[in-house]
A and B are shown apart, each in its own frame.
Chain A
Amino acid sequence: QSALTQPASVSGSPGQSITISCTGTSSDVGGYNYVSWYQQHPGKAPKLMIYDVNNRPSGVSNRFSGSKSGNTASLTISGLQTEDEADYYCSSYTSSSTLVIFGGGTKLTVL
Chain B
Amino acid sequence: AQSVAQPEDQVNVAEGNPLTVKCTYSVSGNPYLFWYVQYPNRGLQFLLKYITGDNLVKGSYGFEAEFNKSQTSFHLKKPSALVSDSALYFCAVRPGSAGNMLTFGGGTRLMVKP
A and B associate in one complex: no
